[in-house]
């Protein structure tokens, strides 16, 4: 009998736990279910996506393109930087220096030993003496002074800057530009100049051979004029007379004609002097009788570009001579 209250407690506990006892207005519940079922049977309209979604998608596309552009720019910058770094590395490798160790120096004492590679620089800080020949297959650059104790043999030399030589022996010298000689210039053999020569100071020459000499101002000669050249030929004239002879000494420019008149000499030309070199035009010929015998002759001349003749009007006798000067 005492256990019944415990049963009642269990019932109250079940109620407290939210147990619902169906009953009451069952019709209301049924109507509610029917309305729910009816709402479920109606077709649902598709909902339009909101505008914010489109904006979000557009922003995503812009950001994606901007991100791709940044990647391309970064790739280009990286490639350029890599190339520059690679060039610097190549330069450093090309200028890589190598220091000779004692072991390497010992190897150099042997024959046909290669040290390093073309990309390295051999740095010798101490003095070096080569007892044998040294062959350099590529260019030679000397940063300091170059002193050569013996003769220097060069097939060709090009000097871009100024140079100073105490004594130079050159077999064949060709100068394409201007040349200035501050000291004395001594030429032991001939000097050939194809162009014009301008000399501001005095010209001293033991012997000067010129094909054509043009003097624009006064010509001063402190010594004699020695006319060189071959001796011209001479032909006797009809006025020389029987048994007469004639001869010439000198050159085309100046000389002497000796005449030995024969029987019946006179009234005509005694001799014709033929030049060794023909003049460009008929030259000026001046003759002067030598001695009193020549002064008694009534003489005259005939001249041309190839010769001149000494003639006389009237009878002559004996021996006499004439000096002549011929100027073009």
Report the distance separating Cα 247 and Cα 164, nearest Å.
Answer: 61
pLDDT tens by residue, 83-118:
888 887 776 665 555 666 777 777 666 666 666 666
Report the distance separating Cα 132 and Cα 111, nearest Å.
Answer: 12
Domain ranges of the chain: 58-109+118-125, 233-327
pLDDT for 270: 93
pLDDT tens by residue, 228-253:
899 999 999 999 999 999 999 999 99
The CA-CA-CA angle for residues 221, 224, 225, to 5°, reads 85
Sheet with strand 245-250: strands edge to edge? 245-250, 254-260, 319-327, 284-290
Q: What percent of the chain has pLDDT over 90?
A: 27
pTM (whole model) above 0.85: no
Dihedral sign of CA atoms 131, 132, 133, 136 in order:
negative
pLDDT tens by residue, 1-42:
444 444 444 434 444 444 444 444 444 443 443 444 444 445
pLDDT for 1: 41
Dihedral sign of CA atoms 19, 24, 30, 36 in order:
negative
Query: In the Cβ-directed half-sphere of 226, how many Cα atoms lie within 13 Å?
Result: 6
CA dihedral 216, 218, 223, 224 (to 10 degrees): 70
Average pLDDT over residues 45-69: 67
**CB count, 10 Å around CB of 80?**
10
pLDDT for 322: 97
pLDDT tens by residue, 267-323:
999 999 999 999 999 999 999 999 998 888 999 999 999 999 999 998 899 999 999
């Amino acid at each position: 009998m005492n256990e019944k209250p415990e049963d009642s407690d269990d019932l109250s506990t079940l109620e407290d736990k939210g147990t619902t006892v169906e009953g009451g207005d069952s019709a209301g519940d049924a109507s509610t279910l029917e309305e729910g079922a009816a709402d479920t049977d109606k077709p649902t309209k598709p909902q339009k996506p909101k505008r914010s979604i489109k904006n979000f998608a557009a922003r995503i596309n812009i950001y994606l393109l901007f991100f791709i552009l940044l990647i391309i720019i970064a790739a280009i910058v990286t490639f350029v930087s890599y190339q520059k770094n690679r060039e610097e590395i190549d330069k450093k490798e090309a200028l890589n220096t190598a220091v000779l160790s004692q072991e390497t120096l010992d190897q150099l004492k042997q024959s046909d030993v290669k040290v390093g590679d073309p990309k390295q620089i051999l740095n010798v800080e101490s003095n070096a003496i080569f007892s044998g020949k040294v062959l350099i297959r590529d260019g030679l650059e000397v940063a300091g002074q170059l002193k050569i104790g013996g003769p220097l043999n060069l097939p060709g030399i090009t000097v871009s800057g100024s140079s100073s030589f105490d004594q130079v022996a050159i077999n064949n010298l060709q100068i394409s530009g201007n040349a200035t000689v501050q000291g004395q210039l001594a030429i032991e053999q001939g000097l050939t100049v194809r162009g014009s020569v301008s000399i501001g100071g005095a010209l001293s020459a033991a012997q000067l051979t010129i094909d054509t000499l043009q003097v624009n101002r006064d010509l001063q000669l402190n010594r004699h004029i020695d006319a060189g050249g071959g001796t011209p030929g001479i032909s006797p004239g009809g006025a020389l007379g029987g048994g007469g002879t004639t001869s010439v000494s000198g050159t085309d420019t100046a000389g002497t004609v000796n005449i030995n008149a024969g029987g019946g000499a006179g009234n005509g030309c005694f001799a014709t002097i033929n030049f060794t070199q023909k003049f460009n035009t008929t030259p000026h010929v001046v003759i002067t009788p030598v001695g009193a015998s020549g002064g008694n002759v009534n003489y005259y001349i005939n001249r041309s570009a190839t010769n001149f003749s000494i003639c006389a009007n009237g009878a002559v006798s004996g021996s006499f001579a004439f000096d002549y000067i011929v100027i073009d």
